[in-house]
Amino acid sequence: MFTRRALLLLAAQAGVMGTLAHHLYEMQVVHGDELKEQARRNRTSRRQIAPARGEIYDRCGVLLAGNRPNWRALVMAEETTDLQAVVDRFATIVPLDDRDRARIERDRKHIRRYVPLTLKEFLTWDDVARLGLNAPTLPGVLIDVGTTREYPFKELLAHIIGYVAPPNETDVQRDGIMALPGMKVGRAGLEQTQEVHLRGMPGTVEMEVNAYGRVMGELERVEGQPGARLELTLDTALQSRIRERIGDRVASAVVMDCRNGEVMGLVSTPSFDPTLFDGGISRTQWNALITDQGTPLVDKAVSGLYPPGSTFKPAVALAALKSHAITASERFSCPGYYDMGGVRFHCWSRYGHGAINLHQALKYSCDVYFYQVARRCGMEAIHEAAATLGLDGSLPIELPHMRAGSVPTPEMRRKHGHHWNGGDTVNAGIGQGLVQTTPLALATYASRLATGRLVQPHLLRSVSNQPVAQGFEPLPFANEFLAAARSGMFAVVNEPQGTAPAARLNLPGVQMAGKTGSAQVRNVPRALRESGHFNSMNLPWQYRPHALFICFAPYDNPRYAVSVVVEHGNAGATEAAPLAAQIMTDTLVRDPASRTSLSRGVVARADGLDE
């Protein structure tokens, strides 16, 4: 009996041991790799990390948009049993304001549980220390270091560089990567248009966690691929000097290299601080920006639409010459006014200019001459010439919210249900009425007049050290026609009785050609004009004409073109022309086009030009 019982017990033991051995075999041999991976996942947490955004530099290697460290607190929702309790406990250690709590609540609804939720950004060292001491009571909470956007020149380049902001729900739905902590989206300027290049590819980080979800340490980190490096055509020191020249005026100025279309200066004042938007702007700050009379959020250089005034006259001259409506030597009489259909159109000079040819008409900026020329050649020819010169339509520069100019024709107006009469053509002949354009278009126009080529403006010099190619076709105007327009612009600045003697350059052997313009923003009654007592400087600021000036230099070998628009500056000759001359002088002295690389230590201050 003892032997039988022993055998039964031995058999039972053997069966148990065999079953255990079978299970051990399956666990360690058959399913060993699978279970090992499950165990590893139980003790680790893997997540994606936002890549560093691409940096932006100017033509001299000066950093314009970079990144700085940003310590932040995250929580892994899938590693907590009560997320709200964790948030409340976190708030007792690092305070959360109403905006933080609203953001957390919004993100909880739209971010998946395996994506880290941002609790607080821009932590101080004291915040980090307190969170480290209280880590056992904060399951799923971890401290992470990312980057935040940094703009060293702030207001100086805000309209060009733009800014980044936290992604909204639409951004996250379009691309799930945007839900990662630290991801930002370009909302203006190059940050917006070059988003694809600047964003980069995310990396991964693997962390060790205990059974309660507390992070014990980092096991492995694979950094993401940073965004592309952008090199711009801008010269930051020149940009700074232009801004100083403009001062507190509401104005815009553009400097272009006539030969290759590189935009070296693009200033719009007033401006704003782009860093306000990185973490989310407050309602008070936003209201202050949108109610400012100077419209600081608008990039006037590319989005501001203005009547070009008399700066438009060279385009009208080319239209008339090309269509053979006039010759450069033909004379028109200016008694100080032009009557048509019972309406009197005045010249800026009450006493008139007598019988003058094209050269004199540009030199004196005679309105009556161009009234008659516009009627003779017709609006269709003017529209074609203006479009060729870049004044009508959007220019392919790498900025958002670019507004197109407008040089309408009778047919275009009729298609939109509007009547066209002869007075519309007469007004267009001096750049008034329905004609509108932007400061960037005016600089492009000056560049094309100077070189005779279809110069296209651009801001990108290279992307990840790959140059941006440019090539330009000749303008469809005969050389003698372009020479006649240039000669008249030369006379404006350099000959006696020209309208812009204040624009003459004080540089030995260098002369500049230009054209003044004053664009009315409201009609002046005929009786007031004819009284001889009207002075637009006596009007309130917002009713004064805009002051404009375009120019290129050196005259005999054009390298640079400049356009200036001073809002409500009253007269181009006295307000815009001297400013343009100062900017052109700074540009020629610095000669940015000849600079390919400079010492960052010398240039980085961008505190002006060497005198």
Quick one: 164 exposed, middle or buried, by C-beta within 10 A (0-12, 13-18, 19+)? buried
How far apart CA 4 and CA 565 sit, in angstroms, is: 112
Cis peptide bond N-terminal to 396, omega within 30: no
Which residues make Cβ contacts (< 8 Å) with residue 491, sequence separation at least 6? 359, 360, 362, 363, 498
Cis peptide bond N-terminal to 270, omega within 30: yes
Tokens of 486: 């240039």
Of the residues 45, 252, 310, 447, which is catalytic?
310
- Please confirm, yes or no, whether 310 is among the known catalytic residues: yes
Cβ pair 388, 446 in contact under 8 A: no
Nearest to 570 by CA among 230, 249, 273, 178: 249
Q: What is the separation of C-alpha 181 from the centre of its chain, rounded to a whole number of angstroms?
A: 26
Give residue for tokens 């000759």.
Answer: 573
Cβ pair 409, 383 in contact under 8 A: yes
Phi, psi of 152 (to 5 degrees): -60, -30
Which residues make Cβ contacts (< 8 Å) with residue 63, sequence separation at least 6? 55, 56, 57, 152, 600, 604
User: How many C-beta atoms lie closer than 10 Å to residue 108's C-beta?
Assistant: 14
Cβ pair 120, 127 in contact under 8 A: yes
Cβ pair 252, 439 in contact under 8 A: yes
What are the CA-CA distances from residue 525 to residues 341, 343, 344, 522, 535 (Å)? 17, 12, 11, 10, 13
Residues annotated catalytic, as ranges: 310
